[in-house]
Amino acid sequence: MPELPEVETVTRSIAPLIGRKIVSAELRATRVLRGSDPERVAAKIEGRRIQSIKRYGKFIVMSLDKGVYLTVHLGMTGRLLLGGPPGKHTHAILNLDKGVLLYDDSRMFGCIEVSDEFPKRVAKLGPEPLEVSFEDFATSLKRHKMRIKALLLNQTFLRGMGNIYADEALFRSGIHPMAMASRLRGGRPRRLYDAMRDVLTEAIAAGGSSISDYVDAEGRKGFFQINHRVYQRTGEPCVTCDKPIRRLLVAQRSSHFCPQCQKR
DNA sequence: ATCGGTACCTGCACGC
DNA sequence: TGCGTGCAGGTACCGA
């Protein structure tokens, strides 16, 4: 579930781990390690100190001493937790010189990767939505012949947008999810840019959206879900015009929109 | 080179 | 109670 605001919230909640040393790592041989050998991964990070923790889109990159990087992606159901008992879906336990960090993930779409250089998958991502200039955003929009909803989900276009915030930003800017990105004209690119930044900023301030079970590393829920205007509100009245919110598939993902307020 | 579709997993809510 | 279906915050990979 985690998109940029949720991953930002998790990253902030594990900031106290900066400066801590990884004493031992218990890793299970699952797809979460992307086929890497658990023993070798553990050996690589044991004894390393966490120098920094940064978010890049939906990725969390911990830089360890001796040039080692520990990269975490939460996928749909991944959780990083500071302590607490391990559960059925706990795939990694990092014992620190003070405290413990658990990685939990029922669907296992997330991953933990260790590398000797800055992770290539992260280096390939597009710019941060909250950092990109409007000019770069507008230029990039024109280059893509895709449905705008699909483009917003494309992490090489922008990093960190996901299904919730794409739908919410499109609603706020009055753009239909099926609209072609390269054909957005007039004030629409600007409205989309502003809406995207507003919704992300508001969501970060609210600690993200807790749809089913998302919590930060301290177990705290986000509360931005109460401010969703279209996401998972199919059939409910539009907050602006009262027409029922509709749902359709774009790029195989549910897209929620108001047929009255959002035009192609 | 870009794209759309499919695959990967588990859990839950729903109707029968 | 159980079973089948559809749905869920994500990305990688394949072929057109």
- Nucleic strand C near CB of residue A76 (< 7 Å): yes
State whether the beta carbon of A163 lies below 7 angstroms from any atom of strand C. yes
In this predicted model, what pLDDT tens digit does every residue of A168-224 receive, in sequence order? 999 999 999 999 999 999 999 999 999 999 999 999 999 999 988 788 999 999 999
* A134-257 is classed CATH 3.10.180.10: no
pLDDT at position A28 is 87
Dihedrals phi, psi of A249, to nearest 5 degrees = -95, 130
Give the distance, in angstroms, between residue A214 CA and nucleotide B12 C1'.
15
pLDDT tens digits, one per residue of A174-189: 999 999 999 999 999 9
Q: How far is CA A169 from the centre of its chain?
A: 15
Q: What is the pLDDT of residue A211?
A: 87
Which bases of chain B are under 7 A from a protein CB atom? Answer: 2-12
Distances, alpha carbon A253 to alpha carbons A49, A169, A193, in Å: 40, 16, 21
Per-residue pLDDT at A84:
86
Which part of chain A has CATH 3.20.190.10?
4-123
A214: the nucleotide nearest its CA (via C1') is: C9
- Provide the annotated active-site residues of A: 2-3, 58, 253
Q: 3-class DSSP state for residue A177?
A: coil
Angle at the Cα of A72 (from A103 to A92), degrees rounded to 5? 25
Phi/psi class of residue A232: alpha, beta or left (left: φ > 0; alpha: ψ in -120 to 50)? left
| pLDDT value at residue A182 | 95
> In the structure, how far is the CA atom of residue A20 from the C1' atom of nucleotide C7, in angstroms?
40
For residue A2, say whether its CB is under 7 Å from any atom of strand C.
Answer: yes
Amino acid identity of residue A43, one-letter, is A
Which phi and psi (to 5°) does residue A15 adopt?
-55, -30
pLDDT of the residue at A1? 59
Low-confidence ranges of chain A (pLDDT < 50): none
Domain with CATH 1.10.8.50 in chain A: 134-257
State whether CATH 3.40.190.80 applies to domain A4-123: no
CB of A252 within 7 Å of some strand B atom: yes
Give the closest residue to B12 (Cα–C1′). Answer: A212
Q: Does residue A34 lie within 7 Å of nucleic acid chain B, judged by its CB?
A: no
Distance CA A213, CA A209 (A): 10
